[in-house]
Amino acid sequence: MGTDPLTLVDLLRVANKPGFERWREQVRRTGGCSDPIHLQGWTITKDKTTSETLYAYSTQAEPGGRLRVACGNRRASRCPSCAWTYAGDTYHLIRAGITGDERKEVPTTVRDHPRVFATLTAPSFGPVHNRPTSGACRCGTAHLEDDPALGTALNPERYDYAGAVLWNNHAGQLWQRFTIYLRREIAARAGLSQRALADACRVSFGKVAEFQKRGAVHFHAVVRLDGPDGPDTEPPGWATVALLGDAIRAASGRVVVLVVGAGAQPARTLRWGTQVDVQPIGALGREELTEQAVAAYVAKYATKAAETTGTVDRRIGELCELDRLNLPSHTRRLIEACWELNADYPDRLLARWSHMLGFRGHFSTKSRRYSTTLGALRQVRADYRAIQERRERGLPELDPDDKESSTLVLAHWTYAGHGHTPGESWLAATIAQDIRQSRELVRELRAELEATGAVGEW
């Protein structure tokens, strides 16, 4: 972390201000958020029967009269600490669907259910610079691993940029149809009607979207077969990893999404690329992907949007904005294609999603019975904090089952801005680093204990 003289001056100002310790505490509670939301307001907790005020809080006594709360952005380029929390949540969510979950929302018996890690990619939109194992790229160069030319068009004049962004734009539909066909293919292999399949077996998945260097979206998914009532029920005997893998390959090959011709654009038939990768997930097997590896892999991509392609991490309001941004030309052409197609396909909102190269889907999604939800994880954290706060303030513990609470909470909050001054920013980054280091230590320790079998459950 570099410190320029202005930051240093501001740092001293911040550290010498009254209430500095309290400010640090606030920022620590946001996890070292780099762009916290500032709130002003108050809250009062009263006893319903006696009207006695049990607790009163106002931001008036806080540093600058404000309370800072975490921004919650999942993008690492916007807020590293909130993105890190999000990645941790995604890891937990995907992992719970593979191994079961310590809070018993997903039973550990899912380890015995057929589970695979599948990758579905986009087809080719024209040859790109690459690093084939056989030696040199088609352009004659042996590209280095970090060569920015990798993934860009060999011949930009002939590359199908329009096709590429239309494909990204429809990737969500391609996925949706894939899940429908997957159930059909499984039913066919089991010799069942679709209705009979629903009574015997449930297909669950958790997936993330990732951008390849060439600017095409692809999907990584954990797919699992459960019994008829989800993870708690045993899958039928015919449900095997081999059957699931077969069905995934067949289903992905059958999916088509038709896009009508418009303006100068021809009608298109969108499909998945032919490279469909399916790997079994195993607890210990060497040939198989380990459960941890899959969850870590998936979580890694949850905080990256399309930034790996060199695009920007926020909406583009006007095409002329691109002149101020130093974008790689391949990426820029994909963004321009979105704007050019916008009038021909007005309901596809291509210009609005041009910073995502046309993609408008969610980055991580899961079927209902796959595992716990991000919302549930956030609620657990919020509940934990609320209990801590109540203890600190000496308030009676809440009975979670007691809907008829004996207390009444009155509150009023207003938005008062966001962010840090340069000195605050530096301090917040230091706090974020400290938190992260200690949490990583706990994670490593826990993984080690689990690996040695020293602990079964936490």
Q: Which residues bind Zn ion (CB under 5 A)?
A: 33, 70-71, 79, 82, 129, 137, 139, 141
Query: Residue 6 CB, nearest distance to Zn ion (Å)?
Result: 23
Give the total residue count for the chain. Answer: 458
Radius of gyration, CA atoms only, the chain: 26
Distance CA 171, CA 425 (A): 38
Beta partners for 205?
223
Query: Are residues 413 and 40 in contact, defined by beta-carbon separation less than 8 angstroms?
Result: yes
Strands, E, within 109-249: which ranges?
115-120, 202-211, 217-226
Query: Residue 111 CB, nearest distance to Zn ion (Å)?
Result: 35
Query: Residue 150 CB, nearest distance to Zn ion (Å)?
Result: 8
**Based on CB atoms, which residue is closest to Zn ion, 60 or 141?**
141
Question: Burial level of 428, CB count in 10 A (0-12/13-18/19+)?
Answer: buried
Distance CA 276, CA 268 (A): 21
Query: Residue 54 CB, nearest distance to Zn ion (Å)?
Result: 31
**Based on CB atoms, which residue is closest to Zn ion, 148 or 266?**
148
3-state secondary structure of 54: strand
**Based on CB atoms, which residue is closest to Zn ion, 71 or 337?**
71
Query: Residue 218 CB, nearest distance to Zn ion (Å)?
Result: 21
**Based on CB atoms, which residue is closest to Zn ion, 147 or 246?**
147
**Based on CB atoms, which residue is closest to Zn ion, 39 or 319?**
39
| Residues with Cβ within 8 Å of residue 74, at least 6 apart in sequence | 82, 83, 86, 302, 303, 363
Name the residue with tokens 């009263």: 46
**Based on CB atoms, which residue is closest to Zn ion, 82 or 182?**
82
Query: Residue 64 CB, nearest distance to Zn ion (Å)?
Result: 18
**Element containing residue 55 per DSSP (H, E):** strand 53-58
Query: Residue 26 CB, nearest distance to Zn ion (Å)?
Result: 13
Query: Residue 84 CB, nearest distance to Zn ion (Å)?
Result: 9
| Identity of the residue numbered 395 | L
Query: Residue 192 CB, nearest distance to Zn ion (Å)?
Result: 48
Question: Burial level of 317, CB count in 10 A (0-12/13-18/19+)?
Answer: exposed
Query: Residue 17 CB, nearest distance to Zn ion (Å)?
Result: 22
Sign of CA dihedral 275, 281, 284, 289: positive
Query: Residue 31 CB, nearest distance to Zn ion (Å)?
Result: 7
Query: Are residues 125 and 164 in contact, defined by beta-carbon separation less than 8 angstroms?
Result: yes
**Based on CB atoms, which residue is closest to Zn ion, 79 or 110?**
79
**Element containing residue 228 per DSSP (H, E):** none
**Based on CB atoms, which residue is closest to Zn ion, 45 or 152?**
152
| Residues with Cβ within 8 Å of residue 317, at least 6 apart in sequence | none
- The first and second tokens of residue 150, run together, are 């990798």
Query: Residue 82 CB, nearest distance to Zn ion (Å)?
Result: 3
**Based on CB atoms, which residue is closest to Zn ion, 282 or 419?**
419
**Based on CB atoms, which residue is closest to Zn ion, 141 or 274?**
141
| Residues with Cβ within 8 Å of residue 448, at least 6 apart in sequence | none
**Based on CB atoms, which residue is closest to Zn ion, 141 or 193?**
141
Distance CA 121, CA 274 (A): 8
**Based on CB atoms, which residue is closest to Zn ion, 73 or 372?**
73
Angle, vertex CA 221, rays to CA 218 and CA 223, nearest 5? 150
- Give the burial string for 16-44 (b: 16+ CB within 10 Å, else e): eeeeeeebbebbebbbbbbbbbbbbbeee
**β-strands 202-211, 364-366 pairing:** antiparallel
| Identity of the residue numbered 300 | K
